[in-house]
Amino acid sequence: MSAQAPDHRFTALPGRPGKVVAVHLAYASRADQRGRRPAHPSYFLKPSSSVATSGGTVERPAGTELLAFEGEIALVIGTTARHVPLDRAWEHVAWVTAANDLGLYDLRAADRGGNVRSKGRDGYTPLGPGLLDARTLDPGALRLRTWVNGELRQDDTTSGLLFPLAQVVADLSQHLTLEPGDVVLTGTPAGSSVLAPGDVVEVEVDAPDAPGAPSSGRLAT
């Protein structure tokens, strides 16, 4: 029996994630655009079949016009987290990388926050290209930038989060078990917008003040 070929969609990760959990609204800049600041984080799930790697092409289906990018910081869980206290939450994160939480705004209202149709399509969760060791990072000092056709569209840091990264992990662990390989998408800052056919989106996560200024590299879609 021949060995099964590796699934290229997950080559930027340690393996296929059991689940992808995403935060609805997380950055102050984005919340101010929306005119509301939630008191607590809220979430939705994306299927692991939506994961893609850098350099891929995403399709906007017929009958839709509003395919939008959302640059995000992705956390990859390293050890099982269940009922984790805030002061221990970051210990359960193994890696940090870049993500693009693509979505069809045409279908957002119909999904009523569930985002199954608007954000669950194949290829709608590009991740990578490089993994940053979370143990070496200050979760409050990460930078997220997104470019469209070389023009900078998003530029924010985790100091602008309404809910710090460790708080998101701790809170999620009170509701469900985070397992090794699971991915948490931590929300997008101001600046996301609709794309046109042929546009190239690049997302990068880095730690500019850390030794060596480690970077995920640019995630291109």
pLDDT tens for 60-111 read: 999 999 999 999 999 999 999 999 999 999 999 999 999 999 999 998 777 7
Look at residue 30 and tell me whether its pLDDT is greater than 70: yes
Can you tell me which residue has the tokens 């101001």?
Answer: 190
Amino acid at 184: V
Q: Residues of the chain with pLDDT > 70: what percent?
A: 98
For range 121-143, the mean pLDDT: 97
Q: What is the mean pLDDT of the chain?
A: 95
Banded pLDDT at 34 (limits 50, 70, 90) = confident
| pLDDT tens digits, 156-211 | 999 999 999 999 999 999 999 999 999 999 999 999 999 999 999 999 999 999 99
Instruction: Say yes or no: domain 11-58+65-220 is CATH 3.40.640.10.
Output: no
Distance of CA 71 to the CA centre of its chain: 7
Look at residue 113 and tell me whether its pLDDT is greater than 80: no
Alpha helices (H) along 28-133: 28-34, 108-111, 116-119
Q: Return the domain boundaries, the chain.
A: 11-58+65-220
More reliable by pLDDT, 32 or 195: 195
Query: What DSSP element (H or E) covers 175?
Result: helix 165-175
Residue 134: Cβ within 10 Å count: 19
Q: Cα separation of 165 and 140, whole Å? A: 8
Predicted local confidence at residue 3, as pLDDT: 57
CB 153 within 8 A of CB 145: no
For range 37-42, the mean pLDDT: 92
Q: What is this structure's pTM?
A: 0.95
**Rg (Cα) of the chain, in Å, rounded?**
16
Predicted local confidence at residue 109, as pLDDT: 78
Look at residue 1 and tell me whether its pLDDT is greater than 60: no
Look at residue 120 and tell me whether its pLDDT is greater than 90: yes
Residue 173: Cβ within 10 Å count: 21
Structure tokens, 24: 């609805």
